[in-house]
Amino acid sequence: MRDETTRAANESAQQAAARLQTLTTVDRHDVAVILGSGWVPAAELLGETTSEFPVTDLPGFAPPAVEGHAGRFRSIDADGTRVLAFLGRTHLYEERGVDAVTHAVRTAHFSGCHTVVLTNGCGGLDPAWSPGTPVLIRDHINLTGASPLHGAHFVDLTDLYSARLRTMCRTIDPSLSEGVYCQFRGPMYETPAEIGMVAAMGGTLVGMSTALEAIVARSLGMEILGLSLVTNAAAGMTGEPLNHEEVLAAGQAAATRMGDLLGKVIRAL
Ligand code: 8IG
């Protein structure tokens, strides 16, 4: 019964991949990049954009629910590496279900991508991470209460966020630190008590994406790199309320560094 659900999700993604191939006239892509909040301005620096479309041109993609979350995809040529970049994503809090959240990852898989770079903007628990600091995701804690897999589908999540790719990133930028990303359902930010819980659990980054997408990517055999941009201190860390302007400003300010880092990482893959 539940295997039917996985088959339906994969069939929908295969249809999206076929349409993507027709639209971009690129037979197969190599690397997928999902650009979350704060990361979209970095897209310009990844390589030469050969085509760009709204994701709604592909079957199975819903229009973005949040203004400013651009729902577009680009085919980019990074010195011969074909990059499929999604500018914006579907979040669990949009209530379209887990298959909508992971549709881009499945589509990337059926488009030929062997690697997916999952990026996000998030809150940070380490006071050393000022807004605009990029952090490598070492591991995650899924606090959404949701699973993106259907049926008795047992998937190993040891080394979910590839140690090989993290080492490669630190070769490119030795100042990069690592964190444990906790995915909350959202859309509210955490209470200070919830941040205390995250700290007690060993979490150092908090956000509303990435973990469910990483699980599906792994279930499809892809290698995963997770990159967080700390755009704000987690709730209760500074005594200041969380400020959406600060979040957007941190993304703009960090765009060049993020784009430079991502561009180098993609060429090294
Ligand atoms: I940007 O502090 C961004 N996204 N859950 N908490 C959660 N998501 C976020 C945060 C944050 N900052």
Q: What CA dihedral angle connects 33, 38, 40 and 43, to 10 degrees?
A: -70
| Residue span of the structural domain in which 238 resides | 2-268
Which pLDDT does position 64 carry in this prediction?
A: 64
pLDDT higher than 90, residue 247: no
Q: Is 190 a catalytic residue?
A: yes
> How remote is the CA of residue 247 from the centroid of ligand 1, in Å?
9
Contact between 260 and 172 (Cβ < 8 Å): no
Q: Which of 11, 52, 67, 190 is catalytic?
A: 190
Can you give the CATH number for the domain in which 208 is found? 3.40.50.1580
Mutate which of 130, 180, 232, 237 for ligand 1? The one with the most ligand atoms within 8 Å of its CB, which is 232
**pTM of the predicted structure, to 2 decimals:** 0.95
pLDDT, tens digit, 9 for 90 and up, residues 189-246: 999 999 999 999 999 999 999 999 999 999 999 999 999 999 999 999 887 887 777 7
- Count of domains forming the chain: 1
Please list, in sequence order, all residues whose beta carbon lies within 8 angstroms of the beta carbon of residue 253, skipping any fewer than 6 positions away. Answer: 132
What whole-number percentage of the chain has pLDDT above 70?
97
Rounded CA-CA distance 20/62 in Å is 15
